[in-house]
Structure 1
Amino acid sequence: MPEQRKKILIMTVGVGGEIRSGILRSIDAQNPDRVVLLFTTGSWEKHGNALIGEITKRGIEIEPDKEATSTESEVDELLPKYLEIIQNEKRNGTVSVDFTFGTKAMTAALYLAGLLGGLEKASYVGGKRNDQGTVISGRERVIIFSYETPRTAVFCKRLVELYNSYHYGSALQIAEQINKATSSSDNLKKRKTETLYRVCKLAYLWDKFEFKEASETTLELLGYAEEAADLVGSEADPLRIQENIKAVADYLAGLTEDEKKKQINQGLVWELIKNAERKAANSLWDDAVGRLYRAIEYIGQLKLYEIGLFDGDRFLPPPPEDESRVPPDLLMALKEGRPLGLRDVYRYLGLHDPIAKHIIEKDDLKQDVKNIIASRNKSILAHGFRAVGEDAYRAMHQLALDLVNAAGIERPPFDILMLREDLIL
């Protein structure tokens, strides 16, 4: 059988009060295997020997720490010391903390250290108090509380910060931790944490262009419509919320490949542009420019699809009567079924649609477009080793918007929503 882990109780020791009605009452109630006492200079002198004697008589392992504090210590000084003690003791067993008997600074520091140190519970001795605010002798009781609620609040705040700054993967990891740590017995809170996990998963999949899985995850939210609305701060009625969820799921499903493994949907253009904008918000210029390049290329493919010269998979040669209009190198590529890059897509499109004038001039890329694409091609994510800067991103972003407007591609009504800044589970 595996060795049973020790129950370790870390306790603050202040100067005031009676140790029997405070510290010893908590020790007797919790029956730890090991006690670590955190003293001040004054409390060591007043209570040190007596406490050690009482605890030793109970057959409990005792570790007095006279170096951890002093009468001058403040919370910011005590916190790292207490946190180090907790981490060291966690190697020896299961740790909890008790701040029945300490100064205000000691109490605050030990509570925070327990929270940051990942402890599950803390305790103090309370009970009915007299007019002076002191617990009446004989009316004491040990109050044990979980760190789950405050820890969830801390994690939730960080999750919202990450999610709303488009770090969906990190937000999803925290949401998963919160959901796993939430007891199934608290049905209301469990539904909230499950909803939060699904919302983060939806954003994560959507941002990765995994639209099929994102659509399926959206449908899972139908049973959590009210909770989902609360996460994003919507006050719509439940029926309206469910209708919106279904509409989002249908929209995402429409972006996926069809049975012929083709993706032809104008919404994909905006998905690429919006994704680029999210990457740019975190100064990921290379990633952003790569998405914009694909958006510009895809607009050309869509226009060729509309006139029957692209089938969603390959580019189609022109009818024989139009072959003379196509430059020889481009015609050969089309007849051989070779894929076309951005330049050739718009050269081909330029024979049929004036929108290509945004890109092509005299059967070649316009000089300003060449400069933009040259910056992209030098990116480490393309063909070079240079980082793309903000200027290149902004130029390509504007070019993409100009093409979208010229093509008449409307912005879809759906996007990844932000979480409420004041979210509390």
Structure 2
Amino acid sequence: MPKPILICTVGGSPEPILTAIRDLEPAFVLFFCTGEDPATGKPGSQLMIRGKGTPVKIGRDAYARYLPNIPTHLGLSEDAYEDTLVPSDDLDHAVAIMTQAIADLRKGFPEAACIADYTGGTKTMTAALVMASLDAEGVELQLITGARSDLVRVRDGSEGPLAVSAEGIRLRRAMTPLLDAWQRFGYGEAADGLARLRKPRDPNLRAELQIAKDLSQAFDAWDRFDHAAALAQLQVYSPRLGRACGAYLAALKVMTAEGDAKRWPARLWDLWLNAQRRADQCRYDDAVARLYRLLEWTAQWLLSTHEIDTSNLDPAQIPESLNISPGPDGKYQAGLRNAWALAAHHLGGDVATFWETESSHLLDLLKIRNYSILAHGDQPIASGDWETFRAWVQSALIPLLDAQSKAVGLKTLAPQLPQRPLWRNHQS
């Protein structure tokens, strides 16, 4: 195993740097220093690395000793270290310089462990080194600490290295932009990204990554209408999530319950929510395609409650007012408009009223869908067209669907899929 390389920020106290180098015995040291102050002309911390004579002060007051610069004092050869100047109080610039320097250093020592010690230097320098190190692959953090007799500094002679765990910070920094995809219902995007992250050593962090990936996969499956897969994934975490997932589990159980009269209206409602999610992603053609299917499927479901199958009609079920001819296979089938006319004829009541008052509006709106690339045309659907279609469905179809759903026992409709992680800040 090759010797490690050390990166450290240099401030006014040499003891932490001396301790770090003696403890690690690194193959190479990268010092981040400050140069001459442009306002006062006073030398910066580079004096401790390049200064002539005895620029390094050890101890305080009457007990102070003066030593050669740090490389000379420790016997570091010229090819065993490098010093790079960074601004003392410009965080953005300091991070940029350190990031590039660390990347260049890692190329020269690809197999060596890399330790970044952020004990010395200005607050800006230490913050910059931590930030640059967190963004670099394979760089571990270290701090020199020891016994304190006051709030100013560690007592001389008591210093020692302390490995600083940044695994949780790195993981959450990597997870945050991936989980942000939930805000736009991008569960698949989140799941794919989370699956590529390296599993942390810490079991609690590993569990956090696992639940994030699994629930992203669960809601991605739901978003793709794979309700059985979504239910299986979500049930695993039900004890942990408690009420946070209660409404989602209840909806999935209804939608996957074979033979339950509530299953089909629950799935129709789910399709309505799915259309809205596609519109939120500005995928208006996909959204309108779902509204068309919602209209068609609603009529089919209503007819199925009277044992009427639009894919294979009994001629006796077709009123004289409708002209439905058999297809090449001899079957009588009804498309969207005829399905609604059949539903109005056989169910009467609210369904008949809906068709009587809304059929002309529906036929006008279907032109939007028919001109779509996903239907019979070659035009993309604009947001305004979607909004027109959505507003009509919201005001005309959804009240009818809600009433008919309640008639078969579906009292509670599913909520929209979550846009923030369920496992954070939930109440069990």
What is the TM-score normalised by the length of structure 2?
A: 0.77
RMSD: 3.5
Determine the C-alpha separation between the residues in 2 that align with 1:180 and 1:379: 44
Alpha-carbon offset, residue 395 of structure 1: 2.5
Determine the C-alpha separation between the residues in 2 that align with 1:420 and 1:324: 52
Instruction: Provide the residue aligned with 1:285 in structure 2.
Output: 284
Instruction: Provide the residue aligned with 1:268 in structure 2.
Output: 267
Say if 1:291 and 1:324 are closer, same or farther in 2 by CA, change over 3 A.
closer
Say if 1:146 and 1:164 are closer, same or farther in 2 by CA, change over 3 A.
same
Give the SS at the match of 1:136: coil
Instruction: Provide the residue aligned with 1:99 in structure 2.
Output: 118
Instruction: Provide the residue aligned with 1:237 in structure 2.
Output: none
Say if 1:356 and 1:208 are closer, same or farther in 2 by CA, change over 3 A.
farther
Please tell me whether residue 370 in structure 1 is matched to residue 389 in structure 2.
no
Alpha-carbon offset, residue 398 of structure 1: 3.2
Mind listing any 5+ residue stretches in structure 1 that lack a counterpart? 235-240
Percent sequence identity is: 22
Say if 1:293 and 1:264 are closer, same or farther in 2 by CA, change over 3 A.
same
Greater shift, 134-143 or 161-170, is seen at 161-170
Instruction: Provide the residue aligned with 2:87 in structure 1.
Output: 70
Alpha-carbon offset, residue 109 of structure 1: 1.0
Give the SS at the match of 1:11: strand
Instruction: Give the AA of the match of 2:46.
Output: W
Determine the C-alpha separation between the residues in 2 that align with 1:33 and 1:181: 27
Please tell me whether residue 36 in structure 1 is matched to residue 53 in structure 2.
no
Give the SS at the match of 2:161: strand
Contact 1:22 1:125 in 2 (8 A): yes
Instruction: Provide the residue aligned with 2:220 in structure 1.
Output: 204
Contact 1:323 1:331 in 2 (8 A): no
**Deviation per residue, 1:109-164 (Å, 9 max, x gap):** 11111222344521121112233611111100111112112223334544553224
Correspondence list, 1:25-424, <5 A: 25-41=19-35, 42-48=44-50, 50-54=69-73, 57=76, 61-66=80-85, 69-71=86-88, 73-91=89-107, 92-93=109-110, 94-131=113-150, 133-176=152-195, 180-184=199-203, 186=204, 189-222=205-238, 225-226=239-240, 228-229=241-242, 234=244, 247=250, 250-254=253-257, 265-310=264-309, 315-320=311-316, 323=318, 325=320, 327-328=322-323, 330-333=324-327, 336-337=330-331, 340-354=334-348, 355=351, 358=354, 366-401=359-394, 402-407=396-401, 408=403, 409-410=405-406, 412-415=412-415, 416-419=417-420, 423=424
Mind listing any 5+ residue stretches in structure 2 that lack a counterpart? 36-43, 52-68
Counting matched residue pairs gives 386
Give the SS at the match of 2:202: coil
Instruction: Provide the residue aligned with 2:16 in structure 1.
Output: 22
Determine the C-alpha separation between the residues in 1 that align with 2:318 and 2:329: 10
Instruction: Give the AA of the match of 2:379.
Output: R
Alpha-carbon offset, residue 210 of structure 1: 0.8
Say if 1:129 and 1:58 are closer, same or farther in 2 by CA, change over 3 A.
farther
Determine the C-alpha separation between the residues in 2 that align with 1:59 and 1:246: 66
Say if 1:424 and 1:158 are closer, same or farther in 2 by CA, change over 3 A.
farther
Instruction: Give the AA of the match of 2:49.
Output: H
Higher gyration radius (CA): 2
